[in-house]
Structure 1
Amino acid sequence: MGIAELERKIIPARAWQRPEGTVVFTNGCFDLLHRGHVTYLAQARDLGDFLVVGLNSDSSVRRLKGPGRPVNREADRALVLAALSSVDCVILFEEDTPEQLIRHIRPDILVKGGDYRICDIVGADFVTSNGGQVTTLPFVEGYSTTKTLQQHIKPNLL
């Protein structure tokens, strides 16, 4: 798949058109993509027919993670995600949470990593009230972007 084809998988929210089949949604910063991310996204895709990844914009990541983040720009993070065969669509969002995007996408399944409790997942009430499911997938131990950066960069820069 060429770069142009990958870039077509990255769309603005306003361009979203629901495909046929079961739509799965997840979100995150996905800065410094690692094995834990790849495993998680493959497992998320296996839950349905079409995986949409909501990706925090650079300004959103900065607000959530601090001034040293993100390491990779949003365009680069989006392209790397789009290159994964498990990811069907990447949509950037500016807000601190994906609540508005979830309401727009209306996924059948909302999924987060095992470090979340279902009752704490943003958008869970909306998805379940519309007949959808909310689930978590096991956290892949030993993989964390923040921990990796803390080990390899002076902690006061984070």
Structure 2
Amino acid sequence: MIPRRNVRALCARLRREGKRIVFTNGCFDILHAGHAQYLRRAAALGDVLLVGLNGDASVRRLKGKGRPVQRAADRAYLLASLSCVSYVTIFSEDTPARLIREVVPHVLVKGGDWKGKEIVGSDIVRAHGGVVRTIRFLAGRSTTAILARAGGVRPRRPGSSGGRTGTSRSRSSS
């Protein structure tokens, strides 16, 4: 995790060290295999992968009521735990445009669902000689799909076995 206020200085240092900076962003509300593959492929495009993570209020505005499922601090922790992710910073805006101006990455990466659309920050990156890449997502892997499938799952009642069978209990002999 890197505080937002330190991003500009971090990126300046990385550039001085000759590192190729890759940037991507997203909500990453429920981290899944599709996210992991996407981030691994993004990281392969450079030396350092910096992930901009939408803050809680931003996710709520973009995704609607009931989102995010996980707090920003937890989402950031999970992302930072992936070996392919070098740094994670949380931003509060609905788009990463301001953050991209601070990072000025060599490579801006978005998911394949952005192909053919104007990618926020692409003008900034290209103006500084960088490139914009899209990476295809794993089919059928999305937070929305996971939440839809989980919709029928009821929370466990306190004291229930959580669906386990054959729960053993110790018995006292009389």
The CA deviation string for residues 111-149 of structure 1, in whole angstroms up to 9 with x for no partner, is 011111254210001100110000101111110101211
5+ long unaligned stretches in structure 1: 1-9
CA distance in structure 2 between the aligned counterparts of 1:144 and 1:120, rounded to whole angstroms: 22
The match for 1:114 among 112, 127, 149 is 112
Give every structure 1 segment of 4 or more consecutive aligned residues whose post-TM-superposition deviation is greater than 4 Å.
none
Equivalent residue, structure 1, for 2:158: none
TM-score by length of 2: 0.81
The match for 2:91 among 86, 90, 93 is 93
The CA deviation string for residues 17-38 of structure 1, in whole angstroms up to 9 with x for no partner, is 1213100000000011000000
Tell me, what secondary structure is at the counterpart of 1:101? Answer: helix
Equivalent residue, structure 1, for 2:156: none
CA spacing shift, 1:112–1:44, aligned 2, 3 Å = same
Equivalent residue, structure 1, for 2:54: 56
Q: CA RMSD in A?
A: 1.1
5+ long unaligned stretches in structure 2: 153-174
Q: How does 1:5-154 map to 2 (within 5 A)?
A: 10-16=1-7, 17-18=10-11, 19=14, 20=17, 21-117=19-115, 119-153=117-151
Assess if the C-alpha contact under 8 Å between 1:54 and 1:98 holds in 2: yes
Aligned residue pairs total 145
Equivalent residue, structure 2, for 1:7: none
In our comparison, the structure showing a higher alpha carbon Rg is 2
Q: Percent identity?
A: 55
How many angstroms does 1:151 deviate by? 2.2
TM-score by length of 1: 0.89
